Chain A
Amino acid sequence: MIELDDVTLAYRGRTGPVLALQGTSLKVGRGEFAAVVGPSGCGKSTLMKLVTGLVKPTQGRVLVDGHEVAGPVKIAGMAFQNANMLPWRTVLENVLLPLEIVEPYRSKFRAEKKQYVARAEKLLDTVGLSGFGSRFPWEMSGGMQQRASLCRSLIHDPSLLMLDEPFAALDAFTREELWCVLRDVWERIGFTVVLVTHDLREAAFLADTIHVMSARPGRIIETRKVDLPRPRDLEICYDPRFSDLVQILRHKIAEVRQA
């Protein structure tokens, strides 16, 4: 589904070029749940921008769905640490936003609005927000906003979901609740996910594969399969295999931060 082949990316910084990624290679299969962990500033967000076609690689190739990425990929949904809800729109209108942009929904938006609203409401239902559609984002807690943000990233039926530290700003309980929400939606729909996180437990709980990045300029220095059985529930966090995996990842990150 996603393939990065020896990708280098340099930003034009104020004091000269900034190498964000160098020699990064990565493969994510269709329907796979991949997590990317790494020290802060190592280029994780940059990786997301490359895959969604928001920036072009300086060197190397990025393939999504078998095609080289040349512009915005349009098949991806995105969510970030900040829910980024538009405060002048209701939650429902926020969730519908991608349908006003992306084809084929865009040209049918007026005609099929009823159907789209029903779809958005169903999605809100699955993340536990039924009945909240007519609220404004600022009337809701951070966790609820993040749920809505997840709905917005899924409304256009993307085959690829890109999540950049989506749960980082939430308290521990809300975060674990949302892990389960994401797990359930993913198991039901089966899109491909790339989840950037600095929470190793989050990565271990949700992902099939965990990629560890080095400090800037970032590249993937280790890829680990998560062998925990599915379906997983929160109990698994107390499984010794789970703790071992988290422990290993923690050492790895500590190593790259030293370097």
Chain B
Amino acid sequence: MTFRTEDTAPWIFTIGLFVFWEAVCRIFSVDSFILPAPSEIFSAAVRYAGPLWRNSFVTLWTTLVGFLLAVGFGLLLGLVVGWSRTIYRGLYPVMIGFNSIPKVAVVPILVVWFGVGEVPAIITAFLISFFPIVVNVATGLATIEPEMEDVLRALGASKLDVMLKIGIPRAMPYFFGSLKVAITLAFVGAVVSETLAANAGLGHLMTQAGSNFQMPLVFAGLLALAIEGIGMYAVCAWLEYRMTGWAHRSTMNA
């Protein structure tokens, strides 16, 4: 492996940010209630490692369950929507309308229906993240090159043949690309819901810590969120790369 400065840049910048932050807090002796220094945040993270782990895990699994539901449902709906122009035209405005509702507004309804707990978090994660999957899959199907379709149709291929041989493989890079966006949104949805109404999860932990004026713990929660978010994003990005290597080497229309 060759060593390149470029590879270490993200680490240098991250560490630099924390050093700068620490320095600012010390030099101006910022009240730790306003902005705790990284050292305080890290020590809070160590002290409360147990609760942080437990709640991170809750957030992780609610996010993932919501995300997986979104993947299944989004893939299915995307295939249906991309299949026919009529369905596409009919369903698109409905979906746009649905997607434009801020999902925070739905959480109180979910709480009435399912009570305070993990279920509203899962459903919020699901609701907020399925849309990009649907749109991407449908776009992949709807943008098949007409000439490619002609080649198959002239041979007597059915719509199903065209979908299986061209449409679905072609939609895969769009699908895997949308997962990165979807997992981020699912995470946002789960945390928002936890913040509003839950007994566990990082969102809940941070609300609790906040009302107890434990600012370093609140920030430790933020740190945990960042790490978890980056981790899930990285997994999706890796998955995208592994599953659709061909799409990175060729332009779709070449």
Chain A residues with CB under 8 Å of chain B are 49, 52-54, 71-74, 76, 78, 80, 82, 84, 86-88, 97-98, 100-103, 136-139, 152-153, 156, 162
B147 touches A54 (CB 8 A): no
Q: A101-B156, A137-B254 are in contact. List 20 more A-B contacts (CB 8 A).
A: A52-B154, A54-B153, A54-B154, A73-B154, A74-B156, A80-B147, A84-B147, A84-B151, A86-B148, A86-B166, A87-B246, A88-B169, A88-B247, A98-B155, A101-B152, A101-B155, A101-B157, A138-B254, A156-B155, A162-B154
CB distance from A100 to the nearest CB of B (A): 7
With contacts A82-B145, A136-B250 taken as known, whether A101 is within 8 angstroms of B150 at the C-beta atoms is no
Chain A residues closer than 8 Å to B157, beta-carbon distance: 72, 101
Q: Is B26 an interface residue (CB 8 A)?
A: no
Chain B residues closer than 8 Å to A52, beta-carbon distance: 150, 154
A49 touches B150 (CB 8 A): yes
B155 touches A136 (CB 8 A): no
Among A52, A86, A98, A153, the most chain B Cβ lie within 10 Å of the Cβ of: A86
Residue of A nearest to B173 (CB): A88
Chain A residues closer than 8 Å to B249, beta-carbon distance: 87, 136, 138-139
Q: Is B227 an interface residue (CB 8 A)?
A: no
Q: Which of A82, A103, A138 contacts B147 (CB 8 A)?
A: A82
| Dominant SS among interface residues on chain A | loop
Among B145, B152, B155, B247, the most chain A Cβ lie within 10 Å of the Cβ of: B155
CB distance from A62 to the nearest CB of B (A): 13
Chain B residues closer than 8 Å to A137, beta-carbon distance: 250, 254
For chain B, residues 116 to 175, give those with C-beta under 8 angstroms from any C-beta of chain A: 145, 147-148, 150-157, 161, 165-166, 169-170, 172
A101 touches B161 (CB 8 A): yes
CB distance from B2 to the nearest CB of A (A): 25
How long is the Cα–Cα vector from A87 to B144 in the complex, in angstroms?
13
Chain A residues closer than 8 Å to B169, beta-carbon distance: 86, 88
CB distance from B243 to the nearest CB of A (A): 10
Contact with A along B213-254 (1 / 0, CB 8 A): 000000000000000000000000000000010110110111
A97 touches B165 (CB 8 A): yes
A53 touches B252 (CB 8 A): no
Chain A residues closer than 8 Å to B165, beta-carbon distance: 86, 97, 100-101
How long is the Cα–Cα vector from A54 to B170 in the complex, in angstroms?
22
B254 touches A102 (CB 8 A): no
Chain B residues closer than 8 Å to A101, beta-carbon distance: 152, 155-157, 161, 165
Chain B residues with CB under 8 Å of chain A are 145, 147-148, 150-157, 161, 165-166, 169-170, 172, 244, 246-247, 249-250, 252-254
CB distance from B141 to the nearest CB of A (A): 14
How long is the Cα–Cα vector from A73 to B253 in the complex, in angstroms?
27
Chain A residues closer than 8 Å to B247, beta-carbon distance: 87-88
A74 touches B155 (CB 8 A): yes
Q: Which of B148, B153, B156, B172 contacts A84 (CB 8 A)?
A: B148
How long is the Cα–Cα vector from A180 to B47 in the complex, in angstroms?
79
CB distance from B241 to the nearest CB of A (A): 14
Chain B residues closer than 8 Å to A84, beta-carbon distance: 145, 147-148, 151
How long is the Cα–Cα vector from A117 to B161 in the complex, in angstroms?
21
Chain A residues closer than 8 Å to B166, beta-carbon distance: 86
With contacts A97-B165, A101-B161, A101-B165 taken as known, whether A87 is within 8 angstroms of B154 at the C-beta atoms is no
CB distance from B89 to the nearest CB of A (A): 15
How long is the Cα–Cα vector from A72 to B156 in the complex, in angstroms?
5
Chain B residues closer than 8 Å to A153, beta-carbon distance: 151
Residue of B nearest to A83 (CB): B254
Chain B residues closer than 8 Å to A73, beta-carbon distance: 154
With contacts A84-B145, A84-B147, A87-B254 taken as known, whether A78 is within 8 angstroms of B246 at the C-beta atoms is no
CB distance from B172 to the nearest CB of A (A): 8
CB distance from A195 to the nearest CB of B (A): 16
CB distance from B151 to the nearest CB of A (A): 5
Chain B residues closer than 8 Å to A87, beta-carbon distance: 246-247, 249-250, 252, 254
Can you sample 11 A-B contacts with CB below 8 Å? A72-B155, A74-B154, A80-B147, A82-B145, A82-B147, A87-B249, A88-B172, A101-B152, A101-B161, A136-B249, A153-B151
CB distance from A2 to the nearest CB of B (A): 14
How long is the Cα–Cα vector from A64 to B105 in the complex, in angstroms?
62
How long is the Cα–Cα vector from A103 to B170 in the complex, in angstroms?
24
How long is the Cα–Cα vector from A101 to B152 in the complex, in angstroms?
7
A-B interface, 9 closest residue pairs, ranked by CB to CB distance from nearest: A138-B250, A87-B250, A52-B154, A102-B155, A74-B156, A101-B155, A72-B156, A101-B157, A84-B148
CB distance from B200 to the nearest CB of A (A): 43
